[in-house]
Amino acid sequence: MFQLEDIHPLTDFQRNAKNHLSRVNKTGRPEVLTVNGRAEAVLLGRRAYEKVQNALEELAAIKSIQTSLKELAAGKTISAKTVHQRLREL
C-alpha cells in the first residue's frame, strides 16, 4: 500500500509543494499528508488521479449494467415495440 517514505507532514508539503508534486508525478505513488501524526489527506499525481477516475467510471458502468440485468431477470422491463406504441399515443 503506502511506503514509509510516502508519508509526510502537511507543513512539509506547504513549504515544499513543488517537490512533493514532482515526486508523486515521477513515482506514480500517492503521498499521505499528516496533521499531528494522523493521516488527513492523500496527494495523487495527475496520471494516478486519471487512473482512479477511469476506474470509478468503469465501476459505475458495470454497476449500471448489473442493475439493468437484474431488472430484466425480474421482468421489470418493457419491449421497444411497447415504448414506440406508448410514444405514438402521446
Query: Domain extents for the chain?
Result: 4-44, 47-89
What pLDDT band is residue 39 in, cutting at 50, 70 and 90?
Answer: very high
CATH number for the domain whose boundaries are 4-44: 3.40.1620
- Grid coordinates belonging to 69: 440485468
Q: Which of 47, 14, 55 is nearest to 30 (CA)?
A: 47
Torsion sign (Cα): 49, 53, 55, 59: positive
Q: Is pLDDT of 8 > 90?
A: yes
Integer Cα distance of 37 and 32 in angstroms: 11
- Grid coordinates belonging to 29: 505513488
* Predicted local confidence at residue 59, as pLDDT: 98
What pLDDT band is residue 90 in, cutting at 50, 70 and 90?
Answer: confident
